[in-house]
Structure 1
Amino acid sequence: ESEQELEDEVDILMSSDIMAAQMSTKRITFSRAQSGWLFREDKTERVGEFEADFYAVNGLILDSRKRREHLSPDDVQKNKAMMENLTKGNWNNCEFQRRPSLPPPEETSVTWDEYISETPGNPPCLGRPWTAKGSTKSFKATVAMSKNFPMSIEVLLDVLEVIAPFKQFQKLREFMTTKLPDGFPVKIEIPVFPTVTAKVTFTSFEWRDDIDDSMFLIPPNFREDPNRFPDL
C-alpha cells in the first residue's frame, strides 16, 4: 500500500467510533419451533435431502460498547448521515473526505502515584474526557437440526480447529457439543441487520474418496502474499 492509502485508512479510523461487540453463549437456550394455526405442532421440514427439526434460538443478545471522545461533533453528524445513506442503499453520498486533526487534549494533572493507586479496571482519565456508550440488542434466530446428516458435529469441529483461533475455537467447541440439540445444523438463520438475515444451508452432502490428487496441488503460478497472514 502507498503512503497516501495508509494515511487515508488512519484518517478513517480516527474519524469513526471505536466499537467492541461480544455475543455471549451462556444465556442461549433452544426450544422447538411451532407450526400451524389452530393445531400447533413441532415444526419439521425437509432441508434439501435431509429431514430436520426446527428450533428457536432464545437469549441471543449482542453486547456492544462504543467510544467517541476522539470525534468532533461534525464527525458524529457525518457518520450518522453516512449510515442512513448506507441503509437506504444510497452509495453516492458516502464519499470519504479527509478532515483536520483535533486539537490536543489538556495536559493531565494526574501523578504517577495517583495513577498506580487507582483500583484495577478504573484508571484515571489521562486525555480527553471519555464519551462511552453501551447497548444490548436481542436477536431472533432459528436452527434446523438433522439426525440423518452423514457428518457429525465432532467431524466439523475437527475441520474448524485448523482455521479458528485457539481461544475462540474452545468456546465454539463447548457451545456446539453441550448446547446444540441432537443432530447436525443443516440450516441456520441469524439476523445481522434489521432488514438483513444471514442464512447457511446444507442441502446435500456426500463423502468422496475418489478426488483426483491434482485438486490438492499448489498451482505453479501461485505466489505467497507476505501481507496475507502477517502474524504467522
Structure 2
Amino acid sequence: MAETPTEEPYPLHKCVFNGDFKELSYLIKTHDIAEKDKQGNTPLHLAVMLGRKECIHVLLGHGAPIKVKNLAGWSPLAEAISFGDRETISLLVTILKFQVREQMEARRPKLIEALRDMGNFYMELKWDFQSWLPLVSRILPSDICKIHKCGASIRMDTTVVDFNDTRWERGDISFIFNGYKKPSKSLTVLDNKAKVYQRVRYEETEEEIEDEVDVLMSSDIMAVQMSTKGISFSRAQTGWIFREDKTEMVGPFHADFYQINGMVLESRKRREHLSEEDLQKNKAIMESLTKGSFQGFANGGPPLRRPSLNPPPEPHVTWEEYLSAEPGQCPTLGRTPAYKESTKAFKATVAMSPDFPLTVNMLLDVLEVIATFKHFSKLRRFVLMKLPPGFPVKIDIPILPTVTAKITFQEFVFRNDIQPELFQVPSDYVEDPMRGYGAYLTMMMVLHTASCV
C-alpha cells in the first residue's frame, strides 16, 4: 500500500520565501496564517524581512497578526523598521492600530460589566521611584495616585506625567474613563493647571500616522521586558538569631512578605537602520513632541518626511538552508542587525495581604483601563504573574533599566457617596489638544506602537 505523501512544513512560509504570492493567495484559505516556524517567524515576519510587498498585502488582507514576536523577540513591525520601506511601515502601523482597536472593543463589554459589578471605591497608590545610580536616586520623584471608581467610570489623579532614566515631567493630570460612553468619547485627560482637556481618540489622522512613522524610522528599535521565566517566590525572613517569616502591617492591611527571586530586566536595542544624522534628528523630534509641537516642518510648509532606505541586498540563503537552521540561529534575511543587549537582575519583595477588599482580578480590570500610563502598564504585567496567595499591597518592580518603583496600596475603601461630577469635564475647562497633556498623549501613541515592536 502506497504511503500518503506528507505535506511540506510551513507551506505559507515557503510561498513567501519564494515570492509566490499567487500560490500564497490560494493556500492561505486552508492554512494557519499565524503559524510560527522553528525561528518563531510567522509568514508576515518573513514577508517583511525579505521585502515581499505583494505577499505582505495578501497576508494583511487576510488578517495576519502584527502584535506577535519571534524567538528573537521581534515583531513584523520591528523587522519592517529595520528593512526601512516607509510604505510598509505605515501600512503595518495603520493595521496594527486597527487590530488593537478590534481587540479592545471585543474586550470592552466584559470589562464594563466587571467594573460595574465590583462596587464603588476610593483607592490610593503611592509610587516611590528609586535607582541604583546614587545621583539619580536623589532626584527621582514620588507620587500618590488617587483613583475613584463609580459604576463603569474611573478617575485617576496623578502628578507624575512622564519620565525616563534621567528626567521626569510633573503636572496635575486627571485621567477619566466613562465606560457608558461610546469609544470616541470614553477617555478624557484633564490638565488641571492649564484647565484644558483632550479626548483620547481611537483613530488617528493620516498625518498623525505619518508623524508616528517618522519617529519610528528615526528611533532605536527597542525591546524591554521583565523576564518571568525564572521567577520564584520565597518567604522573606526577619531576625538575626531566631529567624521567622516576615509579616507587617501595610497601612491597615496585615501582609506576608515574599522575596522575588530571579527577576531580570532584559533590554535590547537595534539601530542598523540609523545613521548618526538620524540619531540627532530623532533627538530633536522627541524633544519637540515633549514640548507639544512637532518640528518636522520647513517654513510652515508640509512636513519633511523621512524617506525609505535603500533595501538590503537579497539574501544568499535557500529555503532549505533557512528551514534546516537551528532554532534561535536564524540566517540573516534582511539588514544585518546592529544591536546591544543588557540584562539586570533585581532584588525585590512583594507583600501579600489576605485582608485587602479588592481581588487581583478586580485590580487587573482597573489597570486595564489606565494602562496608557506606561508605569501602570508595567504594574499590570507584573500582577499577571502567578503571585503568592492574597493581594499585592506592596510591590517592587523595575520600570527602566536604572529605575525601580515601590508601589504601596496605602488606602482602599468601598464608598457609595462618590459624586458623578468627578467623571465630568469642569465647565470652565477648554478643549485644546495641542497644549498640556496633548503632547504626552501623542507620545503615548508612539510608545504604544513601539511596545508592540
What TM-score comes out, normalization by structure 1 length?
0.62
| Match of residue 182 from structure 1 | 389
Q: Does residue 43 of structure 1 match 2:246?
A: yes
Q: Deviations over 1:108-165 (max 9, x none)?
A: 5759xx5898449935444x53323333322211111111122222221232344459
Amino acid at match of 2:425: I
| Match of residue 62 from structure 2 | none
> Superposed, which structure 2 residues align to 1:144-159 within 5 Å?
144-159=351-366
Supply the distance in 1 between the matched residues of 2:400 and 2:315 (Cα, whole angstroms): 44
| Match of residue 268 from structure 2 | 65
Supply the distance in 1 between the matched residues of 2:382 and 2:401 (Cα, whole angstroms): 25
| Match of residue 98 from structure 1 | none
Supply the distance in 1 between the matched residues of 2:403 and 2:337 (Cα, whole angstroms): 32
| Match of residue 130 from structure 1 | 337
Supply the distance in 2 between the matched residues of 1:169 and 1:201 (Cα, whole angstroms): 12
Supply the distance in 1 between the matched residues of 2:401 and 2:236 (Cα, whole angstroms): 21
| Match of residue 223 from structure 1 | 431
Measured after TM superposition, the shift of residue 37 of structure 1 is 1.2
Conservation of the 8 A alpha-carbon contact between 1:115 and 1:123:
no
Amino acid at match of 2:362: V
Supply the distance in 1 between the matched residues of 2:379 and 2:344 (Cα, whole angstroms): 24
SS of 2:392's equivalent in the other structure is strand
Supply the distance in 2 between the matched residues of 1:26 and 1:106 (Cα, whole angstroms): 35
Return the structure number with greater helix share: 2
Conservation of the 8 A alpha-carbon contact between 1:23 and 1:62:
yes
Unpaired runs of at least 5, structure 1: 79-100
Conservation of the 8 A alpha-carbon contact between 2:379 and 2:397:
no
| Match of residue 18 from structure 1 | 221
Structure-2 change in CA distance of 1:123 and 1:205 (3 Å)? same
Structure-2 change in CA distance of 1:109 and 1:154 (3 Å)? closer
> Superposed, which structure 2 residues align to 1:2-17 within 5 Å?
10=214, 17=220
Measured after TM superposition, the shift of residue 206 of structure 1 is 1.0
Q: Deviations over 1:41-65 (max 9, x none)?
A: 1111121222211111112122232
Conservation of the 8 A alpha-carbon contact between 2:367 and 2:380:
no
Supply the distance in 1 between the matched residues of 2:400 and 2:364 (Cα, whole angstroms): 27
Conservation of the 8 A alpha-carbon contact between 1:118 and 1:124:
no
Q: Does residue 55 of structure 1 match 2:258?
A: yes
| Match of residue 78 from structure 2 | none
Supply the distance in 1 between the matched residues of 2:369 and 2:432 (Cα, whole angstroms): 19
CA RMSD of aligned residues (A): 4.6
Amino acid at match of 2:408: T
Supply the distance in 1 between the matched residues of 2:423 and 2:349 (Cα, whole angstroms): 36
Amino acid at match of 2:269: K
SS of 2:411's equivalent in the other structure is coil
Supply the distance in 1 between the matched residues of 2:236 and 2:432 (Cα, whole angstroms): 47
Measured after TM superposition, the shift of residue 169 of structure 1 is 11
Measured after TM superposition, the shift of residue 207 of structure 1 is 0.9
* Aligned residues with identical type, % of pairs: 52
Structure-2 change in CA distance of 1:194 and 1:39 (3 Å)? farther
Conservation of the 8 A alpha-carbon contact between 1:140 and 1:190:
no
Measured after TM superposition, the shift of residue 173 of structure 1 is 6.9
Structure-2 change in CA distance of 1:36 and 1:193 (3 Å)? farther
Conservation of the 8 A alpha-carbon contact between 2:218 and 2:274:
yes
Structure-2 change in CA distance of 1:169 and 1:137 (3 Å)? closer
SS of 1:53's equivalent in the other structure is strand
| Match of residue 85 from structure 2 | none
Structure-2 change in CA distance of 1:13 and 1:171 (3 Å)? closer
Structure-2 change in CA distance of 1:117 and 1:170 (3 Å)? farther
Conservation of the 8 A alpha-carbon contact between 2:265 and 2:398:
no
Conservation of the 8 A alpha-carbon contact between 1:188 and 1:200:
yes
Unpaired runs of at least 5, structure 2: 1-206, 281-306, 373-377, 449-453
Supply the distance in 1 between the matched residues of 2:420 and 2:413 (Cα, whole angstroms): 18
Conservation of the 8 A alpha-carbon contact between 1:31 and 1:55:
yes
Conservation of the 8 A alpha-carbon contact between 2:267 and 2:401:
no
SS of 1:203's equivalent in the other structure is strand
What TM-score comes out, normalization by structure 2 length?
0.35
Supply the distance in 1 between the matched residues of 2:264 and 2:352 (Cα, whole angstroms): 22
